[in-house]
Amino acid sequence: MNIYRKNTNEMLGRYQRHPRHCSGTRVIVEQAALFLQMAPQQSIHLFITATTVTDLYYITRKEKGKETALAFLEDLLQFVDVASVDKHVIRQALHSEMPDFEDAIQAYSARQETITIIVTRNEKDFEQSGLDVYSPSSFLQSLQQANG
């Protein structure tokens, strides 16, 4: 079974506009929607971390309200699993060579779940993660090429 990983920006892009991402919002939304649509068809197992869940809740609640945020998370959890973040993951991230601590948590959480690929628009910060790193567009392109 193939296992892949998404981060907060890509998951949020599926649902709403966010000021930091306005220039490419339409593309982000289209890519995220296509990714979530293709996952079950391609036997792709999607994971996010608990910190992604809390980030999504905070941002969505602030922009759209509590009930909408909760409904969004319920909907999202139909498509993704939540990867574990425990003391071991935190300690690995603390001693990581990765430049960003939060990214290191995601990378080590992915590795703990035997995830080999991370899909993110923040490719540069994951170069030292030991994972195969794709942008959403390059990952979708590789899926489409693999399926002819």
The 10s digit of each residue's pLDDT in 6-59 is 555 555 555 544 444 444 444 555 667 777 777 777 778 888 888 888 988 999
Q: How far apart are CA 131 and CA 128, in angstroms?
A: 8
Mean pLDDT, the chain, integer: 80
Least confident piece of the model among 32-46, 76-90, 103-117: 32-46
Domains of the chain: 2-146 (3.40.50.1010)
Tell me the pTM: 0.75
